[in-house]
């Protein structure tokens, strides 16, 4: 990026089966836009068979509701100054769908196109201690390999003490019964604003 008047470019990439991570992604994208960033909201492609998705009402409803959101592409990450990625936890790790997208970034990584960007993560689990921290830390491993600058929200705001996760935004959906509420949305806003603010500092220094 060059020029102080050019907006920071933020890409939000997520995978969501039942809609909770998608809701966080939208909150982050909306907040980043309000903070003055140019934002791309993208979803990772579904890998599960269509009949499996259709057999579970919440999964099918999410697939239908988010069908208009473009699929994530390598160029979306290369384009951005800051990238936020989100995934539900799968046994304490990220979902295969987001991992598959990460695996497509190999060429861009080898060309050095993923380095020196800001990265941050968000997640949702079925229970308060269902792997939210380990999922975010696993995602950070990839960010470190990219040569990225990991920006966690930390305990830098009162809303993060309520949310209780310094590594990123983390929702627990009580086994699918608890929608994303104010606690998670407030934490997501803190994270998005922090990422945009620091991305502006980084890009201004580089211009």
pLDDT digits (tens, 9 = 90+) for 66-99: 999 999 999 999 999 999 999 999 999 999 999 9
Q: Residue 96 CA to chain centroid, in angstroms?
A: 15
CA angle 118, 44, 110 (to 5 degrees): 50
Question: Which segments of 111-157 does DSSP mark as H helices, in order?
Answer: 132-146
Reported as a single tens digit per residue, the pLDDT across 125-155 is 988 888 999 999 999 999 999 999 999 999 9
Percent of the chain with pLDDT over 90: 87
Reported as a single tens digit per residue, the pLDDT across 4-43 is 457 999 999 999 999 999 999 999 999 999 999 999 999 9
Please report the pLDDT score of residue 25 as a whole number.
98
The SS3 call for residue 33 is helix
Please report the pLDDT score of residue 41 as a whole number.
98
Please report the pLDDT score of residue 118 as a whole number.
98
The SS3 call for residue 101 is helix
Average pLDDT over residues 149-173: 94
Which comes out higher in pLDDT, residue 177 or 10?
10
Please report the pLDDT score of residue 5 as a whole number.
53
Average pLDDT over residues 61-70: 94
CB atoms within 10 A of CB 159: 18
- Cβ atoms of residues 182 and 169 within 8 Å: no
Residue 53, sorted as left (phi over 0), alpha (psi -120 to 50) or beta, turns out to be alpha
Average pLDDT over residues 107-124: 97
Q: Residue 199 CA to chain centroid, in angstroms?
A: 15
């Amino acid at each position: 990026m060059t020029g102080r008047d050019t907006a920071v470019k933020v890409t939000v990439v997520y995978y969501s089966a039942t809609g909770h991570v998608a809701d966080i992604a939208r909150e982050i994208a909306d907040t980043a836009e309000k903070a003055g960033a140019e934002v791309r909201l993208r979803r990772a492609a579904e890998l599960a068979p269509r009949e499996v998705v259709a057999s579970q009402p919440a999964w099918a409803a999410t697939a239908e509701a988010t069908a208009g959101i473009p699929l994530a592409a390598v160029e979306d990450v290369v384009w951005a100054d800051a990238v936020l990625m989100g995934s539900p936890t799968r046994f304490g790790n990220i979902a295969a769908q987001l991992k598959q997208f990460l695996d497509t970034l190999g060429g861009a990584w080898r060309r050095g196109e993923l380095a020196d960007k800001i990265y941050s993560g968000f997640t949702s689990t079925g229970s308060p201690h269902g792997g939210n921290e380990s999922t975010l830390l696993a995602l950070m491993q990839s960010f470190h390999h990219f040569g990225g600058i990991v920006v966690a929200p930390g305990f830098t705001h009162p809303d993060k003490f309520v949310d209780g996760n310094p590594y990123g935004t983390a929702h627990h959906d009580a086994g699918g019964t608890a929608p994303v509420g104010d606690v998670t949305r407030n934490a997501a806003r803190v994270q998005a604003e922090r990422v945009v603010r620091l991305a502006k500092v980084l890009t201004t220094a580089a211009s």
